[in-house]
Structure 1
Amino acid sequence: MDAAVTGLGLLTPAGLGVDATWQGLCDGRPTARQHPVLEGLPVDFCCRLPGFDAVPALGRRLSCRLDLFTEMALVATLEALQDAGLDPAVWDGARVGVVIGNGSGGNVGLEQEYGKLQEGRIRAISPLTIPRSVPNMVAGEIAIAVKALGPNLVTATACASGATALGVARDLLRLDRCDIVIAGGSESVCSRIASAGFSQACALSTRTHDPAGASRPFDTDRDGFVLGEGAGILILEKPEHARARGAQARGYLSGYGSTADGFHPTAPDPSGAGVRRATAMALADAGLSTSDIEHVNAHGTSTQKNDLAEALVLQKLFPSPPPVTAIKSVIGHGVGAAGAIEAAVTVLTLQHQLIPPTANLDQMDPQIDLDIVTKTPRPHTMQAALSNSFAFGGQNAVLAFRAP
């Protein structure tokens, strides 16, 4: 059974809301900038939301009790529910689930509170420190806000978390545990500890003289990813449930594949065996073959090893690889949110029959032979597409979508 995607909510560095994000991605302008919070660190830039303020949507009292990652998820959820034409005041909440991907919890707020601890200001530490920061609260707060009383959980598979959440959500629909699932991912890693930690692991671009040019997937001069933040929420429904209420699907989540490399804590398996198995699983689950896939939204982190491993897998899987895009070149790497944001963009790509471009691809890595969309959006006839997400720990998630 496919899951109907009846609503989308997006907050990304490319724009606040689905329409603004889509326009920003199609414009192809990178969003990486210096961030005052990161001043003095080896890497002092990231991709942030443009002027985000949760208060108008959530109210000051609720906003004050939430960490940024939960605020983003809740605001995106409200947009997605409106897009889907769903009113929580009249639904059967026991048949509505919530599955959200997140990699690190409230590291932005927790870092601020830890600063008080270091300074010895114990009494200044907020009593909300733990409820704000633990990862499960993002799903819990959504349930509280919209009375979604079915299965409620957070998936944590690092950079694949958002994609994993969507796969788990689709399975809940297939198992008849729910009629509707609010699914996606939310994350902010624009913090000093995240920047310092990833930097020490040699994972980040050090292009401090040119932040906007730092995220350059598949380019010969790529040197690491760029920190980002955002939220992507998809409303998944049983198709019959959507039809019964007269809802129009934006697209369909048809297949999901999940594997582990079992190779290294941070490096991908250069053989790509785990990615190939995940892709085969997603295709079989959707009843598709490689010849049916007309677009791939790549994981495309802009790291040397990940980009090459992903490209080589695509080259082996597809005799003639379909057009590829890598939107982290524009919005950076949202870690736990990335897979959900990219899934939502894949749905939009199929809906609009238009592929947004990859930024900063000036000279293709000579080992990579892919048809990568660059510079401007490309109109393209598509009925099915893949969205790839891979992660530290060797966790792989591949989603297959069909056009509406």
Structure 2
Amino acid sequence: MTQDVLTGGPTHRFDSMSIAGIGVVSGYGWGREFLWQGLMGAKPAACLYPGYGPGRDQQAWVGRIPDGGDPAYGSGVFGRAVQAAAVEAIADAQARGWRRHGRTVGLVHAFTLGDVADWRDFYLIDDGHRRTRDYLRMLPSTPISVVMQEFGFHGPAMNVSAACSSGNVGLLTAKMWRDAGLVDDVLCITTDVSATPDMLEQFVAMGAAVADADPFTACRPFQADTLGFTMAEASVAMLLTDAVDVPYVRVLGGAITNDAFHVVSVDPTHAQIIACAERALTNAGIDAADVTYFNAHGTGTRQCDAAERDVLTTVFDDRPAVTVLKPLIGHCQGASAAIEVAAIALSYEHGIAASAPIVAPAHPRLLNGPTAMIDGPTLKLSMGMGGNNAAVIMAQV
């Protein structure tokens, strides 16, 4: 029996699907156009917020989602952002000719920590007591149930979590459902609204996040003197289907591996992240030489930089152009892969490869800001705590 390149198990080949609709809530604002304009303007989403820095008496750079959304979907940002991203993605897909009639639609929601701020308030402000209807809003099943009810979807609906690889894993889970015949189409949502002062404190203590330096000083993936990432938030929805007239991009395949090495640190041999990229290529049915763009996880931490440089050299012989987005968007934790997949899809749509500007001596293949796009597939790599690696490969239709 042959081995599946996605899971390491028995052969299980995916048919590709297209991204037909995109909805985004991010530090740039409520809507995918805010994301695109922010990327094209080379302006980081992060701002200085008081009460976020060391001792909570200093300012810190954070890419928080601004207030907004429909209060009917919760008192906090989390539930509102899930709903807003879903509504925008579905409306976008319909405008692009999505033919939903008679199709079974599922929903996979990828997240890491859930509604951190609301759970904190539940214990510290409400002393663990709330009306049942308000308590139910905090449960991870509630936001996806609300979306399923609103749109009358009857396929499978569940949450998945793979740390900062959750967005890629959500997309690949959606593809597995379709390959198994469980669905025709899938709405894939990824949400992380955890950039709170207490969460930021822990990531700074681990040496991963940087709170006291502007994003271009802190986060320099594939460049000299990188320090780490700026913490950020996002909720991203993408409608995956074959039944659409004008898709953004085709998802060719992907792979998932785990380092099985450490809860935080990357395996210094980089064996499993390299294997992830190689299996993704096999699953997508393309060669390394076919890949035009390598969209890095690009946290700006030294161990992430070392691992991805090794992947670029070992698997791709340093051929593809490298794009990085976290200096602009920030690190959206569990939603980081999803918002970058959305940015890649929008890049194909506009014919411009989105990437952050170079601010220090850089890898020769790193793009310097928005650059005219050429034909060819993109490999989106993601890495998450717990050794979670995931890669997705996309191409123009």
SS at match of 2:320: coil
Q: How does 1:198-213 map to 2 (within 5 A)?
A: 198-206=203-211, 208-210=212-214, 213=217
Deviation at 1:89, TM superposition (A): 12
Is the Cα–Cα contact under 8 Å of residues 255 and 282 in structure 1 kept in the other structure? yes
93, 110, 118: which is aligned to 1:101?
110
**8 Å CA contact retained: 2:221, 2:301:** yes
Amino acid at match of 1:46: V
**What are the Cα deviations for residues 253-282 of structure 1, in whole angstroms up to 9, with x where unaligned?**
111100001111101112221111111221
What is the rounded CA distance, in whole Å, between the counterparts of 2:238 and 2:122 in structure 1? Answer: 32
Q: CA RMSD in A?
A: 2.3
Structure 1 counterpart of 2:220, from 207, 216, 220: 216
Q: Which moved more, 1:353-362 or 1:277-286?
A: 353-362
2:160 matched to which residue of 1? 155
Kept in 2: contact 1:350–1:385 (CA 8 A)? no
Instruction: State the 1:88 CA deviation.
Output: 11
3-state DSSP of counterpart to 2:164:
helix
Q: Partner residue of 1:397?
A: 390
Q: Distance in 2 between matches of 1:89 and 1:378?
A: 33
What is the CA–CA distance in structure 2 between the aligned matches of 1:190 and 1:230, rounded to whole Å?
A: 10
Higher helix share: 1
Which residue does 2:18 correspond to in 1? 4
Match of 2:370 in 1: 377
Cross-structure match for 2:91? 82
Q: CA deviation at 1:212?
A: 5.6
Cα distance in structure 2, aligned partners of 1:43 and 1:323: 36
Q: SS at 2:235's partner residue?
A: strand
Structure 2 CA distance for partners of 1:294 and 1:209, relative to 1, 3 Å: closer
The amino acid across from 1:382 in the alignment is: D
Count of equivalent residues: 380
Aligned counterpart for 1:388 among listed residues 381, 384, 390: 381
Query: For 2:120 and 2:346, how far apart are their aligned partners in 1?
Result: 35
* Residue matched to 1:14: 28
Q: 1:251 to 1:68 in 2, by over 3 A?
A: same
Deviations 1:287-329 (A, max 9, x none): 1111111012110001111122111211111123311111111
* Paired residue secondary structure (2:191): strand
Percent identity of equivalent pairs: 25
Which stretch of the first structure deviates more once superposed, 31-40 or 301-310?
Answer: 31-40
Tell me by how many angstroms 1:252 deviates: 0.7
Query: For residues 126 and 370 of structure 1, what CA distance do their matches in structure 2 show?
Result: 57
What's the CA shift for 1:162? 1.1
Is 1:36 aligned with 2:50?
yes
1:341 aligned partner: 339
Gaps of 5+ in 1: none
CA distance in 2: counterparts of 1:122 and 1:293, whole angstroms: 51
Maintained 8 Å contact 2:26/2:235? yes
Deviations for 1:207-242, whole angstroms, at most 9, x for unmatched residues?
A: x153563322223222221111011111001x2x33
Going from structure 1 to structure 2, the CA distance change for 1:261 and 1:325 (only over 3 Å counts) comes to same
TM-score by length of 1: 0.87
Per-residue Cα deviation, 1:87-134 (whole angstroms, up to 9, x for no partner): 9997457x11001110101102112222225xxx555x4545643333
Report whether the alignment pairs 1:236 with 2:240.
yes
Shift in Å at residue 37 of structure 1?
4.8
Letter aligned with residue 268 of structure 1: V
Give how far 1:340 is off.
1.0
> Residue 110 of structure 1 corresponds to which residue in structure 2?
119
**Superposition map of 1:249-268 within 5 A:** 249-268=247-266
Gap change, CA 1:162 and 1:137, over 3 Å in 2: farther
Secondary structure of 1:140's counterpart equals helix
CA distance 1:152–1:25, shift in 2 (3 Å) = same
Q: Match of 2:174, as an amino acid?
A: A
2:142 corresponds to 1:144: no
Question: Per the alignment, in what secondary structure is the counterpart of residue 255 of structure 1?
Answer: strand
Q: Matches of 2:132 and 2:50 in 1, distance apart?
A: 27
Q: Which residue of 1 aligns with 2:180?
A: 175
SS in 2 for 1:133: coil
Structure 2 gaps of 5+ residues are 1-14
Give the drift of 1:355.
Answer: 1.1
Output the CA distance in 2 between the equivalents of 1:261 and 1:81.
Answer: 36
Change over 3 Å in CA distance of 1:265–1:122 after alignment to 2: closer
Stretch moving more, 132-141 or 270-279: 132-141
Specify the SS of the correspondent of 1:139: helix
Q: Deviation per CA, 1:148-174: give whole Å up to 9, x if none.
A: 221111111010111100000012122
Distance 1:255 1:9, change over 3 A: same
1:354 match: 352
Does structure 1 conserve the Cα–Cα contact (< 8 Å) formed by 2:30 and 2:68?
A: no
Equivalent residue number for residue 54 of structure 1: 69
The DSSP-based 3-state class of the residue aligned with 2:165 is: helix
Q: 1 CA distance for matches of 2:77 and 2:251?
A: 28
Note closer, same or farther for the CA distance 1:370–1:185 as it changes in structure 2 (3 Å cut): farther
Q: CA distance change for structure 1 residues 122 and 264 in 2, over 3 Å: closer, same or farther? A: closer
Q: Could you tell me which residue of structure 1 aligns to residue 319 of structure 2?
A: 321
Amino acid at match of 1:391: G
CA distance in 2, matches of 1:212, 1:320: 24
Q: Structure 2: which amino acid aligns with 1:226?
A: T
Map of 2:10 onto structure 1? none
In structure 1, C-alpha distance between the alignment counterparts of 2:135 and 2:280, rounded to whole Å: 37
SS in 1 for 2:231: coil
Write the letter of the residue equivalent to 1:47: G
